[in-house]
Homo-oligomer: A and B are copies of this chain.
């Protein structure tokens, strides 16, 4: 780096940050990409790693290898903890800091338990690769424990899996657990029958996939029920503990015995959202998202952009959803605005081009809404497969994930069924040490 060129710092190597850097890298600027992880994660397939269908390496690409040949891109594995927009500096947890000419903040989301710290301690979520592996570990260990259990009530509780929140992540988790139980684990055990597995999907709204068209919600619920998922809509979680959840529905309260609760109900912006609010007085919404100007910059700071799950952007009176395509388009847009400013041009307002939404329910079943064209079943699943493969970063991932899928589809197998690492909240009694 020359030190004289315009220096852009990008915080976050997710869909937003990655696309920002890819847009900037072709130009005569210096870029520092900061991430606390050393890889870009393909979040839409993370649930498949949790469900023992894919290995971490299939859905993650080292950031350094993506930008290996880009001399003007520096990757820094560090956790940004402070931003000073007046001094134009970013500070890291290590105490070190870096200055910038322009900054793009794309630090993403975190799961949000609405202040219930006790729930967060016992529930599992998909906040990154480590958490996905924890889900895999907990589910597989529950079956191992159940196989050795003589108490039928405890056995039933061990084979009960509860997913809170029926957005795409919750639907995908529920569908794949039900399929794993009925197909992959068939014949694996001698005392228990994995087909006895209960998968409960709890949703506060009156239908699954509330952000989708109601027709598709109906189809998705039907598909879920067909593969054995019990869907409870209009249900509010009242408590999550190590051995049960309590759910209120139709005026009554039910206690469900379970040792595995997965949380897919609420997300919030990275804490850097609140930090920017304090540092710039830019308003934030209830989810901690920064309400940015139409060009995605922070009001009053034309060289500071916030994008993706951290940005609150309204279009047609609705805030844009926290989806990969939104973050990708915003990453490209923010990068383009920085280049326009360097060139002395006016910035432009961001406009999201909605190419559709989709969610997969299980083997050969999905729902998709492509600009009003509503698909379900096998066609939607093929489309889902194609779109996700095409978006996977790097040829290697594409090839391997495709082979893995073809293999799983042909054999119903899940070869990644390994219990690695330790679970601090393992089911009771047997000290299962992998």
On A, residues with C-beta under 8 Å from B are 1, 36-39, 55-58, 60-62, 64-65, 68-69, 71, 74-79, 93-94, 96, 129-130, 133, 140, 144, 147-148, 185, 187-190, 394, 396-397, 399-400, 403-404, 407, 411, 413, 415-421, 429-434
A-B contact pairs, 6 of them (CB 8 A): A39-B418, A65-B188, A74-B190, A76-B148, A77-B148, A396-B411
A433 and B148 contacting across the interface, CB-CB below 8 Å: no
Interchain nearest-CB distance for A399 vs B (Å)? 8
Query: How near does chain B come to A418, taking the closest CB pair, in angstroms?
Result: 5
Given pairs A57-B415, A60-B418, A68-B187, 10 additional interface contacts (CB within 8 A): A38-B144, A38-B419, A55-B55, A62-B188, A65-B188, A77-B148, A93-B433, A94-B430, A96-B430, A397-B415
| B420 & A56 in contact (Cβ 8 Å cutoff) | yes
How far is the CB of A414 from the nearest CB of chain B, in Å? Answer: 8
Q: How many copies does the complex hold?
A: 2
The answer to whether residues A64 and B148 also contact, given A396-B413, A400-B403, A420-B56 and a CB cut-off of 8 A, is: no
Q: Which residues on B sit within 8 Å (CB–CB) of A148?
A: 76-78, 94, 96
Return chain B residues, CB-CB under 8 Å to A418.
38-39, 56-57, 60, 62, 129
Cα-based distance from A256 to B170 in the complex (angstroms): 52
What's the least CB distance linking A398 to chain B, in Å?
11
- Chain B residues near A419: list those with CB within 8 A: 37-39, 77
Chain B residue at minimal CB-CB distance from A394: B415
Complex interface: chain B residues within 8 A of A1 (CB): 190
A37-B419, A420-B133 as given contacts; A189 in contact with B433, CB under 8 Å: no
| Contact of A413 with B133 at beta-carbon distance under 8 Å, contacts A418-B39, A430-B94 already known | no
- Contact, CB under 8 Å: B420 / A130: yes
A432 to B92, CA, bound (A): 11
Closest to A32 in B: B190
In the complex, the answer to whether A68 meets B188 with C-beta atoms within 8 Å is yes
Contact B430 A65 (CB under 8 A): no
Most chain B CB within 10 A, of A58, A94, A403, A415, is at A415
Q: Within the assembled complex, what's the spacing in Å between the Cα atoms of A430 and B399? A: 36
A212 to B413, CA, bound (A): 41
Q: How far is the CA of A354 from the CA of B147 in the complex (A)?
A: 40
Query: For A57, what are the chain B residues with a Cβ–Cβ distance below 8 Å?
Result: 55, 415-416, 418
Closest to A144 in B: B77
Inter-chain contact A415/B396, CB cutoff 8 Å = yes
Instruction: Please report the C-alpha to C-alpha distance between residue A144 and residue B37 in the assembled complex, in whole angstroms.
Output: 10
